[in-house]
């Protein structure tokens, strides 16, 4: 009987200790979720922009049934390498548009220069077939000034369009 009481006491103490650890981990996760990543001031800070845009994507994934979104970060194109990267990105998106995207997927576009991001979207979808993106979500993270021309470019394809101002 004495051994049983000792085992029960040790088990209870272990349970309380573990639950306290879990509470501490939950509190840490909650505080990390509350902390927002600020918008980077340097257009060449790709890590900062990825973190900033990533948090916006996480908040706007409702309705998506695919495992993860297709994210395209358009650089500010301040160097020849960055311009070449944007050209490759445009080609990649055009290829994706030509192949088509299954319903439930999400395409995300963002970057430090909203105008360049909007230009890429307009160029990439100009030859898309009407109605070919029904039930596909397209998220554009940019400036309010660019929202309407992206909306107009995407309207014929039938996608669910979402805009988030940065």
Looking at the structure, tell me whether residues 102 and 150 fall in a common domain: yes
Looking at the structure, tell me whether residues 103 and 151 fall in a common domain: yes
67 backbone φψ class: left, alpha, beta (φ>0; ψ -120 to 50) = alpha
Say what the pTM is.
0.77
Looking at the structure, tell me whether residues 55 and 26 fall in a common domain: no
| pLDDT-derived band at 78, boundaries 50, 70, 90 | confident
| pLDDT-derived band at 12, boundaries 50, 70, 90 | very low
> What is the residue-averaged pLDDT of the chain?
84
Q: Please report whether residue 40 resides in a domain.
A: no
Instruction: List the one residue out of 63, 56, 73 whose CA is nearest residue 134.
Output: 63
| pLDDT tens-digit readout, 36-62 | 899 999 998 989 999 999 999 999 999
| pLDDT-derived band at 29, boundaries 50, 70, 90 | low
Structure confidence at residue 28 (pLDDT): 53
CB 90 within 8 A of CB 125: no
Q: How many domains does the chain have?
A: 2
Looking at the structure, tell me whether residues 96 and 146 fall in a common domain: yes
Which residue has tokens 């049934």? 65
Q: Please report whether residue 158 resides in a domain.
A: yes
Q: Residues with Cβ < 8 Å from 10, sequence gap 6 or more?
A: none
- Residue 14 lies in domain: 1-35
- Kindly list the distances between the CA atom of residue 107 and the CA atoms of 15, 26, 29, 64, 161, in Å, as whole numbers in the listed order: 44, 31, 27, 10, 10
């Amino acid at each position: 009987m004495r051994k049983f009481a000792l085992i029960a006491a040790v088990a209870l103490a272990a349970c309380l200790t573990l639950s306290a650890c879990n509470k501490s981990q939950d509190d840490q996760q909650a505080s990390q979720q509350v902390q927002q990543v600020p918008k980077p001031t340097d257009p060449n800070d790709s890590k900062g922009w990825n973190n900033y845009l990533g948090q916006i994507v996480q908040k706007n994934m409702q309705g998506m049934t695919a495992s993860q979104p297709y994210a395209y970060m358009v650089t500010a194109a301040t160097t020849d390498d960055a311009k070449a990267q944007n050209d490759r990105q445009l080609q990649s998106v055009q290829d994706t548009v030509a192949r088509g995207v299954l319903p439930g997927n999400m395409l995300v576009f963002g970057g430090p220069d909203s105008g360049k991001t909007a230009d890429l979207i307009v160029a990439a979808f100009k030859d898309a077939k009407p109605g070919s993106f029904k039930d596909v979500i397209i998220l554009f993270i940019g400036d309010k000034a660019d929202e309407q021309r992206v909306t107009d470019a995407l309207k014929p394809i039938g996608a669910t369009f979402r805009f988030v101002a940065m």
